[in-house]
Amino acid sequence: MNRPVRSGLLLLLVGALAVTVTIAWQQWTRTTLADAEQQLQARQFLAVLPAQSYDNNPLHSSLALPAEQPSHSRILAAYRATLGTTPTAVVLVSQVQGYAAPIRLTIAISADGRLLGTQVIDQQESPGLGGRISDPQVNWLAQFANRSLGDRWALKRDQGDFDQLAGATVTSRAVIEAQQDALRYFDQHRTLLLGAPAHE
């Protein structure tokens, strides 16, 4: 076998080996990357729940949603958290129109109808203004924890109970409306969402 043919075969063999190793690496890492992405999404979705308040994986308990939607926002998904066999909370995924684009939130509501926490999972609001709704240093969403439907769900400037995010009136109002909608939705569909009558 002459030298150019041997070189060509060697080059072909090295190329085939490189392609095989690349494909094998992609197959091996695809599952790992998908698992890591699912774990990140789970942490993001469940960050609104107190750690000791559930022992199931709520994301495995996706609930059927009633066709009826709130007036200012949309409920995209609902998940039930349980401790043993007792429902402790519901996590609603809500979408509301912000100033620049839709804002997606996870909103956790306890079995007795109190808002446990809210977290932004997607937003395109103006940086330095409405975009600060997800800034942990500003922590604007903390003021809504432990609130219920009986509170005045509006900005203080609109005779409500809540502070505005400075320079972001539209964003502030949208998020307040989404949380109030979520509480109303929970109240209207409590039995369906909890799977049993709530214990107060």
User: How far is 137 from 144, CA to CA, in rounded Å?
Assistant: 16
Kindly state the average pLDDT of the residues 85-94.
95
Examine the pLDDT at 33 and tell me if it is beyond 60. no
Examine the pLDDT at 37 and tell me if it is beyond 70. no
- β-strand pairing of 102-110 with 86-97: antiparallel
Domain limits of the chain? 1-46, 51-194
Tokens of 66: 């009633």
Contact 132, 168 (CB under 8 A): yes
Tokens of 10: 């060697």
The pLDDT, as a whole number, for residue 31 is: 64
Of 45, 68, 62, 61, the residue nearest 185 (C-alpha): 68
pLDDT band at 161 (very low <50, low <70, confident <90, very high): very high
Instruction: Determine how many CB atoms are found less than 10 A away from the CB of residue 164.
Output: 17
The pLDDT, as a whole number, for residue 130 is: 85
The pLDDT, as a whole number, for residue 154 is: 95
H/E element holding 96? strand 86-97
The pLDDT, as a whole number, for residue 199 is: 47
H/E element holding 83? strand 73-83
Kindly state the average pLDDT of the residues 38-67.
82
Kindly state the average pLDDT of the residues 71-84.
94
* Percent of the chain at pLDDT exceeding 90: 57
pLDDT digit string, tens, across residues 137-158? 899 999 999 999 999 999 999 9
The pLDDT, as a whole number, for residue 198 is: 43
Residue with tokens 């569909």: 189
Kindly state the average pLDDT of the residues 42-62.
85
Looking at every residue in the chain, the average pLDDT score rounds to: 86
Of the CA atoms within 13 Å of residue 90, those in its CB half-sphere come to 29
Examine the pLDDT at 170 and tell me if it is beyond 70. yes
Tokens of 155: 């900005």
Contact 98, 89 (CB under 8 A): no
